[in-house]
Amino acid sequence: MVNLNQELKNNQKCLDFATAIWGSINAHEGNLNPVTRRSVQGNIREINDKFYMAHTSGLYNKVKGAGLDLKSPLTCAQWFNMHRELKSFYKSKKVIHREHINGGVKSMCDYLILNYKEFKNSNDVLDYIVNNTHFVARLNEETYINEHTTLEELKIYV
């Protein structure tokens, strides 16, 4: 999954969000609390909207069952749009869940804040985010896939 998103390291909008994160983690100097975490989380989520996501085979079958196509990987934002179509087709409130795995955003925030000295500039922050963000689009009922799911475990489902 890491290979899907390497081009984001050259995306100016992503770099702008990473600059905000870098400024925040340096201003807080390793002080981890709900406020400092919140100052980082939102910017990570903005970057994540541009990420291409893997999807489970169960979701793939549900998409095909609705007569829709999955020829190429979809970004987080594109999955959001697909979700609208699936909810309408299946007459359901929720079909897709976009899940961070391998620790999720909270653990990434904590690492960035506590290890702020490791990041010399916003490019280092963006590299870390791109290399350590792992998402999967799953069916809402596939709750066995969650933020604690490892990359190795995920291979069973995608």
Domain locations in the chain?
2-154
Cα torsion through 148, 71, 89, 99, rounded to 10: 10
pTM, two decimal places? 0.85
Residues in the chain: 158
How large is the average pLDDT for residues 55-82? 89
> Can you give the pLDDT at residue 2?
56
Task: Please indicate whether residue 51 or residue 24 has the higher confidence score (pLDDT).
Answer: 24
73 pLDDT band (50/70/90 cuts)? confident
- Cβ atoms of 44 and 105 closer than 8 Å: yes
Task: Please indicate whether residue 112 or residue 48 has the higher confidence score (pLDDT).
Answer: 112
Q: Is the pLDDT of residue 122 over 60?
A: yes
Per-residue pLDDT tens over the stretch 128-156: 999 988 888 999 999 998 888 888 888 88
Q: Is the pLDDT of residue 37 over 90?
A: yes
Q: List own/partner pairs for 74-78 with CB under 8 A and 24 or more apart.
A: 74/137, 75/49, 75/50, 75/51, 76/48, 76/49, 76/50, 76/51, 76/135, 77/49, 77/50
How large is the average pLDDT for residues 108-117? 97
Mean pLDDT of the chain: 90
Per-residue pLDDT tens over the stretch 76-109: 888 888 899 999 999 988 999 988 888 889 999 9
CA dist 119 and 56 (Å) reads: 34
> Can you give the pLDDT at residue 108?
94
